[in-house]
Chains A and B, each alone.
Chain A
Amino acid sequence: MKSKNYDVLSELKEIKKKENILKKELDYVKDKEREILVKLNKGKINEKNLERRAYKNIMHFTFSDFAQTTIGACVFSFAPFLDTDPWNFIPFVNLKLLVYIHIFFIFCVFIAINYKFRTNFKFDWWFIKLLLKRLFYTYFSVFMVMILILVLINKLAYELVLVDVIKNFLTVQTIGLFGAVTFSFLKKD
């Protein structure tokens, strides 16, 4: 009887030992799980912060944005100053074609500005509204510069016909927009 009791007790001890080991392993796994969860949460918070930063940046069209836009437009529209060749064939280009190219470029600029602030093209009405506002500011900034440049190179003269003036404007404005967007990708910090 005694020997039987002894066997049962020793088995119980062994089971308890195994149970303790299992408990320790379980605790270790739980700790690891907690660590992984914390890391995941941190990643999510970082992603959210990045999104928020992008949204904050688009809200205000600051003076540095304006400067980048105008300088970009000036640099890219410098070619018409140096080269007189384009001005010779612009009067022969169809006005409709120029309008279509201009609209296409505006669309491209819209997409480019979107990717300047975020990494996707999800439809978010609030964001699209701010994006359109920024596009308007960019377009207007380039417009001011281009009018000045056209007056300087005598392509916006009183004696010109309206169709020619529109053609000149559309050509230079398209180039200016391209320059403005390219320069707006330069980092401020």
Chain B
Amino acid sequence: MVKIKKHTSYDKDTGERYLDRFNIDFIRYFKPTNFLFSILGCLIGFLILVKTPGLFENFLMLDINTLYLISFCGAFIWFIFTWIITGLSANSFKKGARLAGRRGLFPFSIMFVFSLIALFLTNLINGGMLFYLFLKEMMITMIFISIFVVSIDYGVSAILKLKR
């Protein structure tokens, strides 16, 4: 009979211990390294988006409803993916949904704030422009950046955690 190894997770902030089926510490906690990885992902994504000729303009040609659909579907698929992982590990899909949602909130906020600052600094958005255009540019930036943030933040931290 195969014996399943369980992983004990310790929360330093609250002093609580959790017994997981496998290691999901990279989803359970958002550490300063995750914050740095998120910023790094934002920076790489934004530089590629702005420096590649014609990329931003091509995205701007898209309809706003298409952008809504892309962002909603992307976020939903990613949430479901992390939810399945956390749900299986924590042995409860209710707890899993809470963990996945909470973990996704931090990179989302970082991406939002970063996009806002970066677009203002590069003069792509200004106070006098229409809200429609602002929304479009913000969504384009966030969709593109999220590819890098998700892969670097979740992926690298997971690999580092598993290697340890």
- A positions within 8 Å CB-CB of B: 59-60, 95, 126, 129-130, 136, 140, 156-163, 165-166
Contacts and interface: CB of A to CB of B under 8 A. Distances in A.
B127 A159 contact: no
Contacts of B131: 156-162, 165
B14 A140 contact: no
Most buried by B among A126, A129, A162, A163: A162
A160 B130 contact: yes
B126 interface: yes
Interface string B80-113: 0000000000000000000000000100010000
Q: Which 5 A-B pairs have the closest CB atoms?
A: A158-B132, A163-B127, A59-B14, A160-B131, A165-B131
A172 to B, nearest CB: 15
Contact of A162 (B13, B14, B105, B125): B125
Given A59-B14, A126-B13, A140-B105, A159 B130 contact: yes
B135 interface: yes
B22 interface: no
A138 to B, nearest CB: 13
* A interface SS class: helix
Contacts of B132: 158-159
B13 A130 contact: yes
Given A136-B109, A163-B127, 6 more contacts: A59-B13, A126-B13, A130-B13, A160-B131, A161-B131, A162-B125
B129 interface: yes
24 contacts: A59-B13, A59-B16, A95-B127, A126-B13, A130-B13, A136-B109, A140-B105, A140-B109, A157-B131, A158-B130, A158-B131, A158-B132, A160-B130, A161-B127, A161-B128, A161-B129, A161-B131, A162-B125, A162-B126, A162-B127, A162-B131, A162-B134, A163-B128, A166-B127
A129 B130 contact: no
Nearest to B128: A161
A162 B130 contact: yes
Contacts, number: 40
A75 B125 CA distance: 33
A4 B132 CA distance: 119
Contacts of B109: 136, 140
A145 to B, nearest CB: 16
Contact of A158 (B16, B105, B126, B135): B135
A163 B128 CA distance: 7
A36 B29 CA distance: 46
Nearest to B127: A163
Contacts of B14: 59-60
Given A158-B130, A159-B131, A129 B13 contact: yes
Contacts of A159: 130-132
B38 to A, nearest CB: 15
Interface string B116-158: 0000000001111111101100000000000000000000000
A157 B135 CA distance: 11
Contacts of B129: 161-162
A160 B13 CA distance: 44
A157 B129 CA distance: 13
